Amino acid sequence: MKLQRRQFLAATAMAAVPLPAAEAAKTRLGLVASTHAALRQPAPLDATLTLDQVRAMVFRAISLGSPHAGSLEEKIKPGSWVVIKPNIVALRPRPTYRLGDITDFRVTQAVLEYVAARSRAGRITIAEGGSYRRPNDPAEDNATIQDGRRVSAYDFDWGPDEFPGFHGSIQSMLAVLARRHPDKKFDYIDLSYDCVRDPAGRFRRIVVPKSANGTGAFGGRPDYFVTNTILNCDFLITVPVMKCHLQCGITASLKNYVGTAPREAYSLPGIFSNHNLHAEHSAGGRIDPFIVDLAAFHPPDYCVVDGIRGLQSQEHGNGRPDQMMQSNLVLAGEDPVAADSLVAQLLGYNTHDMEFLHMAARRGMGTMDAARMDVRGDDADRHMRRWERPRHWYGRCNRDWLLQDAKGHWTRTEARFDTLDLVEATGRKPAPGTVYNAAAQFDSPGHARGLLWLGARGEVSVRINGEAVASFTAATSYRVGQYQYPITARPGANRIEITLAPLGGKALLGLLVTGRSNDGGTLAGMRWTTPSAA
């Protein structure tokens, strides 16, 4: 399928020219707390906010997080089809649903009102695909019943209490806006049923477009089922809720794209979820690759992140009363990588642990470099909290390795994912007596205690800065962090040297250094660096 012009431009525009380091070229982010001094009705961070207060926060964040075009309304061209994509993955009474699970409807309404009142858009659409079937779907599983009838996100009535000040449904919200702005068209599209089809009506796969720097797909397979709306809209605003995620650490602007994958193409019979999206496109043991691949079909033109309420520990309700975190924050900007980097910091994560951010930056979608971000409004440091991380989540493992060849020469190798396959990387097939030697290096700002997480398969010995740390046979099923050893980092460069003899034809390595809390996050302040030749 040929890429449409707007799709191509959306996929490559941000990657075309590297931004200079000048102040004027920095990407701007607006961060507004309910206590923000410029608000007419400031409120404490734990206060229950009104619709007017949330609206004021959203409008202020958008004005502070102005794009390079000058303002959001200037960036939206006259007559454009603007799509607003919130996160509405579930509806009550799904057992795992709870407050903080989906985008606050007051934030979504405020973004809708801003675009309707201030831009010259011709059509404004709310689009989302969640784990609920539309009323005319003949399947009866995952159907939501309200007041004796089947409903979807479009006509589900949220009542007056869950989002104080917001009453009714998406349907009623759009109807009000249509009356106020008769010059614009307002509608809703269920992305779960919007898959691109071929002339015979069959679901059609499309290969991830390459960015201007030649970067293509990261996922397990490069061709995806995608939706007509994402491909064809002129302007896309992602409006996620800020929360933790079991597999990729956080959910924000880019993770919100999982809801753009059409469930009609990816679900299994009786299970209305994106099961096959995970099964077909995960890679390296992570879902991060397909998050970025989905965003590549139309990268966000603008981001507004709902930080009013979110969930720690995992992305859906786990039954614990302390899971919901109230922050009363809104952030906005046109750079999704920068926005999600700020979200990671606000939740207490190391930004460099976010695999999908590295991939998105490689595609040219934005910057992870704090020196190229201009955060305006409230001081992010004052709002950083340590949210409870998912139990089995872990940060980004080392990727820069030195490997020794059969002649004793050291060469640099970059691992694609967390696990390095030494047989594949060296091209040396295991044989009796074969030993692989590998080295990695990290820099530490000072003396620090942590834990070395080692995933391995084979007979292993490990040394750090010349001192023996461990020597053992790893014969169990491989996983990242299966072996953990306390270490003390010294200021500056710290070299890790590993000798591994294959076992059962396998020679696998994964390396992570965590803090003393041992929660999967990289040791504070450290950075993996390219090791020097031995």
DSSP 279-321: HHH-BTTBSHHHHHHHHHTS--SEEEEEEEEEESSSSS--S-T
* SS3 track for 35-86: CCCCCCCCCCCCCCCCHHHHHHHHHHHHHHCCCCCCCHHHHCCCCCEEEEEE
CATH fold of 400-529 reads: Jelly Rolls (2.60.120)
Residue 2's pLDDT is: 35
pLDDT of residue 4: 40
- Rounded to two decimals, the pTM is 0.93
Identify the H or E element spanning 444. strand 436-444
206 three-class SS: strand
DSSP 247: T
CB 192 within 8 Å of CB 134:
yes
pLDDT higher than 70, residue 18 = no
Instruction: Count CB-CB contacts under 10 A for residue 453.
Output: 22
| 296 closest CA partner among 240, 354, 242, 236 | 236
H/E element holding 176?
A: helix 170-180
pLDDT in the model for residue 54: 98
Average pLDDT, the chain: 94
For residue 533, the model assigns a pLDDT of 80
155-198 pLDDT tens trace: 999 999 999 999 999 999 999 999 999 999 999 999 999 999 99
At residue 182, φ and ψ (nearest 5 deg) are -65, -10
User: Which stretch of 16-20, 50-54, 175-179 has the lowest confidence by average pLDDT?
Assistant: 16-20
Contact in structure between 220 and 289 (CB atoms under 8 Å):
yes
| CB-CB contact of 84 with 111 (8 Å) | yes
Residue 272 has pLDDT above 90, yes or no: yes
Mean pLDDT of the region 443-460? 96
Q: Provide the b/e sequence for 344-369 (b: ≥16 CB within 10 Å).
A: bbbbbbbbbbbbbbbbbbebbbbbbb
**Average pLDDT over every residue of 134-162:** 96
Of 301, 312, 298, 310, which Cα lies nearest the Cα of 242? 310
**Domain ranges, ordered by start, for the chain:** 5-16+52-383, 400-529
Q: Which long-range contacts (CB under 8 A, 24 or more apart) does 269-274 make?
A: 270/139, 270/141, 271/141, 271/142, 272/131, 272/132, 272/133, 272/139, 272/141, 272/142, 272/192, 273/131
Beta strands in 313-427 (DSSP E): 324-333, 373-377, 400-404, 410-414, 420-421
pLDDT, position 20: 42
SS3 state of residue 477: coil
CA 479/CA 494 separation, integer angstroms = 24
User: 421: buried, middle or exposed (CB in 10 Å: 19+, 13-18, 0-12)?
Assistant: middle
Contacts (Cβ under 8 Å, ≥6 apart) of 37: none
Give residue for tokens 């949220």: 158
Share above pLDDT 70 across residues of the chain, in percent, rounded to a whole number: 95
Amino acid 406: pLDDT? 84
Strand, coil or helix: what is 467? Answer: strand
Is the pLDDT at 6 greater than 70, yes or no?
no
- Contact between residue 434 and residue 426 where contact means Cβ atoms under 8 Å apart: no
Tens digit of pLDDT for each residue in 24-49? Answer: 589 999 999 999 999 999 999 999 99
Determine how many CB atoms are found less than 10 A away from the CB of residue 49.
Answer: 23
pLDDT tens, residue by residue, 62-104: 999 999 999 999 999 999 999 999 999 999 999 999 999 999 9
- The residue written with tokens 């959910």 in the block is 251
Which of the four pLDDT bands, split at 50, 70 and 90, describes residue 407? confident
Strands 373-377, 27-33: pairing kind: parallel
SS3 category, 383: helix
Least Cα distance to 111 among 66, 156, 62 occurs for 62
Residue 268: exposure state from Cβ atoms within 10 A (0-12, 13-18, ≥19): exposed
The predicted structure's pLDDT at residue 534: 62
